[in-house]
A = this chain, B = another copy of it.
Amino acid sequence: MMATKTFPTWRAKLQASLQKHENLVFSKYFQLATIKPDGRPANRTVVFRGFLDGTNDITFVTDKRYNKVAEAAQNPAAEVAWYFTESREQYRLSGLLTVVGPEHKSQALQDARAAAWRSMSDKARAQYLWPAPGAPKTGKEELPQQPPPSADQPPLPTFCLSVLSIQEVDYYQTSDQVRYKYSLVDTDSWQELELNA
């Protein structure tokens, strides 16, 4: 997570794709694959929350009580598949996942977590008070005893910022059959390789 002076090619492409699709809210959603503790793959849709300042790391927010937090702690390997519907571009971003919860030691990452918390809607923040997501519904769940937390309060302990540091990118424009692989070879140096579509 060193500062990068110029953006790598794949990031410039990805930002162009995002801009081209800015009127489509779902273009900010991508699919994240991780490995479960039993060794099987998990896959789910998450919402892009921007790049971590000064890096090419991709961020999203998550609830500590979700499986992917435990999964990332045990095996940080992850791959994102991100498809843009109008331009027919697919990005496969593979790298390592760090989940930043309340106990994470890095002040820079805690600052990023707090900034992500402030940027959320009241409704989205309130979810972190709800009964554990993904747990069986018993009908006896306790409703939150406290008012929804506001943006100027510190993040709830269940609120995590996830950071994916990218090591390899497979870019594929399917209608023009253009495909490139970008591999991180040094702190901020990327190797580009054209692939057969």
Interface of A toward B, CB cutoff 8 Å: 24, 26, 29, 31-35, 39-45, 77-81, 83, 85, 90, 92, 94, 130-137, 141, 170, 179, 181, 193-197
Tell me the complex Cα distance, A79–B79, Å: 13
Counted per complex, copies of this chain come to 2
A21 smallest CB distance to B (angstroms): 12
Which B residues touch A42, using CB under 8 A?
A: 33, 79, 92, 94
A interface: dominant SS: strand
Contacts known (A45-B81, A77-B41, A78-B41); A136 close to B35, Cβ less than 8 A? no
Closest CB-CB distance, A120 to chain B, in whole Å? 15
A141 CB → nearest B CB, Å: 7
Q: Flag if A34 contacts B41 (CB, 8 Å).
A: yes
Task: For A71, give the chain B residue with the smallest CB separation.
Answer: B41
A56 to B21, CA, bound (A): 34
Q: Which residue of B lies closest to A65 (CB)?
A: B196
**CB contact under 8 A between A130 and B41, given known A81-B31, A83-B31:** no
Chain B residues positioned under 8 Å from A85 (CB to CB):
24, 26
Min distance, Cβ A54 to any Cβ of chain B, angstroms: 26
A29-B83, A31-B81, A83-B45 known; A196-B132 Cβ under 8 A: yes
Residues of B near A41 (CB, < 8 A) are 33-35, 41, 77-79, 94
